[in-house]
Amino acid sequence: MSGTPPVTRADIAAGLRRLGLASGDHLIVHSSLSSFGSVEGGPHAVIDALLDVVGPSGTVMMPTFESSDPVFDPATSETSLGAVPAALWKRPGAHRSPHPLASVAAIGGKAAWLIEGHVDAVTAHGEGTPYHRLAQIDGKVLLLGVDQDRNTFLHTAEEVARLPYLRPQEGSYRDAAGAAVTKTWPLFPGPHRAFIGLQSWLEENGLTRKTAIGPCVAQIMECRALLDALLIRLRAEPGLFLTANPNLPDGIWQRAAVHAAEREQEAFTLAADSGTAGCTMEAAIRALAAAGIRDILLSFVGDVPWPSIEEPWRKWYIQGLALAGIAVAGIRLPGLEPDTAGKAAFLAREAGTDTLIVPSTVAVDSAAAAADLGVRVLYQNTGIGGAEAVRLLQDPALAGRSVALAFDPLGFLAAGENPFLTTYSRTRVRLHTSLLYLSDGFPSGERTMLGEGLAEVAELVSMFRASRYAGLLVLESPSPVSFADSVLRFRALLHALGRPV
């Protein structure tokens, strides 16, 4: 800044002591030299001030990754993380880890111990790494003129918590003998995290302290307290660090991974109806991928029923689903006759499923014919109540065959029943259910968002979940436009019901 005197080594040391730093402390430092305005002595004055405060028994550590070298060499590879770490790793007595993705350099009493074996750890920032070891010795995180987005230690919490969006990452480095080594770390955090959103929470909970050193805002955090507090939150909020930006590609797949991991703890399988997930199959695949839903019920593509789609297009769609990692949970047919049972069974096998959903108006001999061909037939209640649905499923013609109920709350509403208070509670229909539709609306047939109609979806899901229901839940939104909101509402419902056993 024009007219502002340079910050000195003594100024920086005094500011660090105001933060509570003292001899024997061990630090990881993230810094911006320019945040001080002008520093008399440049980056080495900052390092000297840090070493003055922590003394010979303390340790100063800084991240030194972000090299453009294809093979990271701790003896020669530069870092793009700023002038201060670039100066630190070249200082006499500095130790530097060869980790190509998360290298650090350190000077001081614990430097060699902190660095040792970094590339051999399972993760880049978790157990067995310099970052996690710093927490074990009551180290501190120091930010000098940078925000929480530069706080590499926060990756330690992600990796210790084994968050579901961590992905494999490969890197190459030169070992002590000078040989190039390529290795994959299976749980790497990747880009784009919303760490800055933690700042107010850290301040409100006394997890950080701040001071000004000239124009530089400096703040300090205790590694162990920070890690412990974050792990408590991450157990309940695995998406805590993720951006809420709906259009950022990294955020989309990271949130999807969190959503999918949550549902993997459930006994049920969540699928989405193709007819309400997207106006085209391509749109439905994108919508399911963003929601972390890995199963689909094929009903319609646009306005076309699945059986009416020409074979080349069906195969194209099935291939696209497979490439996206989406399994076909079942096929919904508008009808079924004894002479079409063979085609229906073929459609199921073609799509890689054994499940057909048909309306309850289909005759039992047609359902029996399809079941005899090795498929499971689920009757979707259409114009009948719960007691009648049970009688249908207990028809002697279906005995010994794989036939069950696709429980449609809107269908029972249209038949004059309350889906939970009447159908579920007063009949034995639940004992025959293998699929529950997640759809809401009114007896007139009008559809609404989940929680805004009379289908008693929350009550049904709660009771099915209480018996560790292992069948299908199929999400049906009022329209493809509202599919993403429907997913969020279902997630909120599950969270309100508590964790599964």
* CATH number of the domain residue 367 falls in: 3.20.20.150
H-helix or E-strand containing 436? strand 433-438
**187 with 279, same domain?**
no
Tell me the per-residue pLDDT of 293-318, one tens digit each, with 9 for 90 and over.
Answer: 999 999 999 999 999 999 999 999 99
pLDDT at 3: 65
The domain in which residue 87 lies consists of 9-236
3-state helix, strand, coil split of the chain in percent (to 5) is: 40, 20, 40
- Confidence band, pLDDT 50/70/90 cuts, at residue 1: very low
Report helix, strand or coil for 266. coil
**Average pLDDT, integer, range 382-391:** 96
Domain co-membership, 288 together with 418: yes
Is there a domain that residue 82 lies in?
yes
Please check whether residues 433 and 293 belong to one and the same domain. yes
β-bridge mates for residue 223, sequence order: none
Shared domain for 98 and 32, answered yes or no, is: yes
Mean pLDDT confidence for 150-156: 96
221 assigned to some structural domain: yes
Domain count along the chain: 2
Please report, rounded to a whole number, the percentage of residues in the chain having pLDDT higher than 90: 94
3-class state of residue 310 by DSSP: coil
- In angstroms, the Cα distances linking 87 to 25, 26, 94, 103, 399 are 21, 19, 10, 14, 79
Is the per-residue pLDDT at 20 higher than 90? yes
Average pLDDT of the chain, as a whole number:
96
pLDDT for the residue 370: 96
- Please check whether residues 289 and 386 belong to one and the same domain: yes
Domain annotation covers residue 258: no
Residue 492: inside a domain: no
Looking at the predicted structure, is the pLDDT value of residue 2 above 80? no
The whole-number average pLDDT for the span 28-50 is: 97
Structure token digits, residue 349: 């096998």
Q: pLDDT of 411-451, one tens digit each?
A: 999 999 999 999 999 999 999 999 999 999 999 999 999 99
Q: Are residues 225 and 339 in the same domain?
A: no
Of 185, 218, 236, the residue at which a domain comes to its end is 236
Low-confidence winner among 1-15, 28-42, 54-68, 347-361 (lowest mean pLDDT) = 1-15
With a cut of 90, say whether residue 193 has pLDDT above it.
Answer: no
156 lies in the same domain as 206: yes
Same domain, 340 and 421: yes
* 451 belongs to a structural domain: yes
The answer on 185 and 295 residing in a single domain is no
- Which residue, 236, 254, 273, sits at the end of a domain? 236
Pair (220, 272) in one structural domain? no
Q: Is residue 489 part of a domain?
A: no
Verify that 295 and 430 share a domain, yes or no.
yes
Same domain, 320 and 174: no
Burial class (CB in 10 A: 0-12, 13-18, 19+), 265: exposed
Residue 231 CA to residue 99 CA, distance in Å, equals 25
Strands 376-380, 355-359: pairing kind? parallel
pLDDT at 262 over 80: yes
Q: Where among 217, 236, 255 does a domain terminate?
A: 236
pLDDT exceeding 70 applies to what percent of the chain?
Answer: 99
Full 3-state SS string of 208-264: CEEEEECCEEEEEEEHHHHHHHHHHHHHHCCCCCCCCCCCCHHHHHHHHHHHHHHHH
The answer to whether position 128 is within a domain reads yes
Kindly state whether residue 292 falls inside one of the protein's structural domains.
Answer: yes
